[in-house]
Amino acid sequence: MPIHRPAPQGSRVIAHVDMDCFYVQVEQRKKPELRGLPTAVVQYNAWKGGGLIAVGYEARKFGVKRSMRGDEAKEVCPDIQLIQVPVARGKADLKLYREAGSEVVSILSAKGRCERASIDEVYLDLTDAAELMLSEAPPETLETIEKEALKSHILGLADDGKGSEENVRRWLCRDDADHEDKLLACAAIIVAQLRIQVMEETQFTCSAGIAHNKMLAKLASAMHKPAQQTVVQTSAVKDLLASLPVKKMKQLGGKLGSSLQSDLGVKAVGDLLQFPVEKLQERYGTNTGSWLWNIARGISGEEVESRLLPKSHGCGKTFPGPQALKSISSVEHWLNQLCEELSERIQDDLDQNKRIAHTLTLHAGAFKYNEKGLGRKFPSKSCPLRYGTAKIQEDAKKLFDSGLRDFVGPHNDRWGIASLSVTASKILDIPSGTSSISSFFQDKDCHSLSSSGCDGFNNDHFPPSPSVNKICTRPVYHVQQLRPSCEEICDVHETSQQNKTFNIDVRGASPRKRKRKELGSILRYFQVSDSSTKQVVDEFTQADAPLPTSDSESYMEPDPSEHQRSNLVRNDNNDENSTHVNETTQTSTAWHLNVEDVDPSVIDELPLEIQREVRGWLCLPKRVQATKRGSDITQYFFPAKK
């Protein structure tokens, strides 16, 4: 669902940088003799020469398309060079391409806030860099402007008959332009320089869109490819959207776009201009209605997130045509391969970036033999992620079984699987200040926890982690901290649910006062009791067993800044200490609070499960929904629906 965000106050300037025929370029860098030749990269697959996943621009001139298979490509372009994606575990191994993408990201991120949007695309917020250039060296003062910048396509710029480069130079250097256009001009020069740098350092070409928001920048980057850049001036937005087919707009490719076409007769994004916001809100809800009204005008408040690492890790494989999987054992075989790769990747992420993935999701494309046309989809299933290949494999199989039961239904129809993928998401940073990742892992702990089934899952503990000394369990943190993060609130919930431990001790002799001042959110109401220990430790173990299938997980995304404030102290202790942690915690974890201090509305803000638990602690009655739900954003959040 699109999320409506109000337009930002000041002008912003955003670039979307997209690599050209990326996998082909990576292969051509590896084998320079391929440069200039029609080339495509094919997915490992014997069927009809494999599926094309990247097509070089020379091959596109012959009509080769990504939807083709290798054999078809050879028919239209007999000289085409078909390069197979590297293979590991019987499936595509994309490591080479991911690493090549990271090279580019590290260059681009030097210039501004950088969001890695996919393996080969990046958003950059260049507002600060452009403002700086405008104040220190505006375009009209530059002795030379790179040719790459002069080759920019400026949407809405009329040809003045002087040759487009001269025309662009004049546009870039106008001193009568408004501030917004001046920022765009500066960003165009900065992006051209960055693209040259990327070329020099990586040998890759890329294309870019430059605009006042992400949505327009993304649209623009695809308009002139390869190795070109396009600028969207505000005055050109209306024309751009007037003819843009709705389905081409991000977020409108699916059901929402189809509904706009069939229910409102909207063909181009600009057609939405005729509808008042009330009408759109009435039809699609407040949030989506507002979003639609805004995108029709080229308005989008979506921020460039600061993220250089991927948001999730996914491993998938397709089984086209006759290769469809038809037995549980063949599905298990491939799930094992996929999970093995996924496990390696999240482990690398943990080792290199100190990030932990929290959710495992299984997607499958399936069909039934006796069913013509579109039947029920194979439902995607999720559960909390447990580290270690064997555990991930075990959980993925359970997710598959659960999905298959729903998919097949009571008649036990014959089925086939045309694609499978496993994804690790909700990847969160471990707070800094640790000396070794492996020190987070505790050995014996993995045998000490009870199991309880939930939707077919055993609430097992974390598994052996192959690359961390074959030891098991999720991290046990010793935390020095002044302010518990949101995640910890959730840990309170998770740990108590599973009879595990949580303890916060606060530094200093006067925890009562300190807590009042420093703790945010609901925890400010809780007083920590352990005055006997003036140690500077918080100890908690994270619950780690799978809960039910879980698009509705109960934990919240922590604020990364909270992590910064936490200072993890390495727990070098072995299982002996691990036991100690638990014991200590059990005796010292006593919350002292003045119930009258608790504002019930604060509790209303918490997820349902946590509310229940907190109410239990406080012996508070369930609150009657007192506030009338209005049309503001809060109505989308709990507790709107039970």
- In terms of Cα–Cα distance, which of 476, 406, 395 is closest to 439? 476
Listed in sequence order, the DSSP H helices in 354-485 are 389-408
Q: Does residue 120 belong to the site contacting ligand DCP (CB under 6 A)?
A: yes
Q: Which is nearer to ligand DCP, 221 or 294 (CB)?
A: 221
Q: How far is the CB of 24 from ligand DCP (least distance, A)?
A: 6
Active site residue 121: yes
Q: How far is the CB of 399 from ligand DCP (least distance, A)?
A: 24
Residue nearest to ligand DCP (CB): 54
Q: Does residue 22 belong to the site contacting ligand DCP (CB under 6 A)?
A: yes
- In terms of Cα–Cα distance, which of 353, 349, 362 is closest to 317? 362
Q: Which is nearer to ligand DCP, 52 or 149 (CB)?
A: 52
Q: Does residue 227 belong to the site contacting ligand DCP (CB under 6 A)?
A: no
Count of chain residues binding ligand DCP (CB under 6 A): 12
Q: Which is nearer to ligand DCP, 67 or 594 (CB)?
A: 67
Query: 């001193």: which residue's tokens?
Result: 175
Q: Which helix (H) or strand (E) holds 71?
A: helix 70-76
Q: Does residue 367 belong to the site contacting ligand DCP (CB under 6 A)?
A: no
Q: Which is nearer to ligand DCP, 27 or 544 (CB)?
A: 27
* Contact region with ligand DCP (CB under 6 A), list: 18-26, 158-166, 170-178, 617-625: 18-26
- Which residue in 21, 194, 236, 471 binds ligand DCP (CB under 6 A)? 21
Q: Does residue 293 belong to the site contacting ligand DCP (CB under 6 A)?
A: no
Q: Does residue 487 belong to the site contacting ligand DCP (CB under 6 A)?
A: no
Q: Considering only residues 321-360, where is the footprint of ligand DCP by CB under 6 A?
A: none
Q: How far is the CB of 92 from ligand DCP (least distance, A)?
A: 8
Q: How far is the CB of 304 from ligand DCP (least distance, A)?
A: 18
What does the alpha-carbon distance between residue 50 and residue 43 come to, in Å, rounded to a whole number? 5
* Contact region with ligand DCP (CB under 6 A), list: 12-20, 233-241, 273-281, 467-475: 12-20
Q: If DSSP codes are grouped into helix, strand and coil, which group holds residue 277?
A: helix
Q: Pseudo-torsion of CA 50, 53, 56, 57, nearest 10°?
A: 120
Q: How far is the CB of 503 from ligand DCP (least distance, A)?
A: 46
Q: Does residue 119 belong to the site contacting ligand DCP (CB under 6 A)?
A: yes
- In terms of Cα–Cα distance, which of 537, 542, 446, 530 is closest to 492? 542
* Contact region with ligand DCP (CB under 6 A), list: 21-29, 32-40, 131-139, 209-217: 21-29
Q: Which is nearer to ligand DCP, 323 or 554 (CB)?
A: 323
Say if residues 567 and 485 touch (Cβ distance below 8 Å): no
Q: How far is the CB of 357 from ligand DCP (least distance, A)?
A: 22
Cα 91 off chain centre by: 23
Which amino acid, residue 33?
Answer: E
- Which residue in 4, 212, 225, 515 binds ligand DCP (CB under 6 A)? 225
Q: Which is nearer to ligand DCP, 23 or 407 (CB)?
A: 23
- Which residue in 18, 58, 488, 494 binds ligand DCP (CB under 6 A)? 18
Say if residues 210 and 230 touch (Cβ distance below 8 Å): yes
Q: Does residue 232 belong to the site contacting ligand DCP (CB under 6 A)?
A: no
Listed in sequence order, the DSSP H helices in 555-605 are 560-565, 575-588, 600-604
Bond into 484 cis (ω within 30)? no
Residue 586 backbone class (left: φ over 0; alpha: ψ -120 to 50; beta: rest): alpha
Q: How many CA atoms lie within 13 A of 507 on its CB side?
A: 11
- CA distances from residue 94 to 43, 102, 116, 443 in whole angstroms, order as listed: 11, 12, 16, 33
- In terms of Cα–Cα distance, which of 185, 198, 197 is closest to 142? 185
Q: Which is nearer to ligand DCP, 21 or 325 (CB)?
A: 21
Q: Which is nearer to ligand DCP, 21 or 479 (CB)?
A: 21
- In terms of Cα–Cα distance, which of 500, 484, 347, 342 is closest to 422? 342
Q: Does residue 20 belong to the site contacting ligand DCP (CB under 6 A)?
A: yes
By rule CB under 6 A, what string of x and - marks binding of each residue 71-110 to ligand DCP? Answer: ----------------------------------------
Q: How far is the CB of 185 from ligand DCP (least distance, A)?
A: 26
Q: How far is the CB of 118 from ligand DCP (least distance, A)?
A: 7
Instruction: Catalytic residue, from 121, 394, 539, 553: name it.
Output: 121
- In angstroms, the first-to-last Cα distance of the chain is 20
Query: 């939707």: which residue's tokens?
Result: 455
* Contact region with ligand DCP (CB under 6 A), list: 2-10, 15-23, 352-360, 575-583: 15-23
By rule CB under 6 A, what string of x and - marks binding of each residue 568-607 to ligand DCP? Answer: ----------------------------------------
What does the alpha-carbon distance between residue 542 and residue 447 come to, in Å, rounded to a whole number? 15
- Residues contacting residue 148 through CB under 8 Å, at least 6 positions apart: 192, 193, 195, 196, 229
Q: How many CB atoms sit inside 10 A of residue 33's CB?
A: 8
Q: How far is the CB of 213 from ligand DCP (least distance, A)?
A: 20
Long-range contacts of range 47-50, CB-CB < 8 Å, 24 or more positions apart?
47/320, 47/321, 47/322, 47/323, 48/72, 49/73, 49/74, 49/82, 50/82, 50/84
DSSP string, 150-173: HT-EEETPPP-SS-HHHHHHHHHT
Q: How many CB atoms sit inside 10 A of residue 626's CB?
A: 8
Q: How far is the CB of 319 from ligand DCP (least distance, A)?
A: 15
Say if residues 523 and 610 touch (Cβ distance below 8 Å): no
Q: How far is the CB of 606 from ligand DCP (least distance, A)?
A: 40
Q: How far is the CB of 334 from ligand DCP (least distance, A)?
A: 18
* Contact region with ligand DCP (CB under 6 A), list: 19-27, 103-111, 265-273, 595-603: 19-27
What does the alpha-carbon distance between residue 25 and residue 614 come to, in Å, rounded to a whole number? 55
Q: Which is nearer to ligand DCP, 247 or 397 (CB)?
A: 247
Say if residues 313 and 342 touch (Cβ distance below 8 Å): yes
The two three-digit tokens of residue 49, written as one number: 């020469």
By rule CB under 6 A, what string of x and - marks binding of each residue 51-70 to ligand DCP? Answer: --xx----------------
Q: Does residue 19 belong to the site contacting ligand DCP (CB under 6 A)?
A: yes
Residues with a catalytic annotation lie at: 121
Binding residues for ligand DCP, rule: CB under 6 A, are 18-23, 53-54, 119-120, 225-226
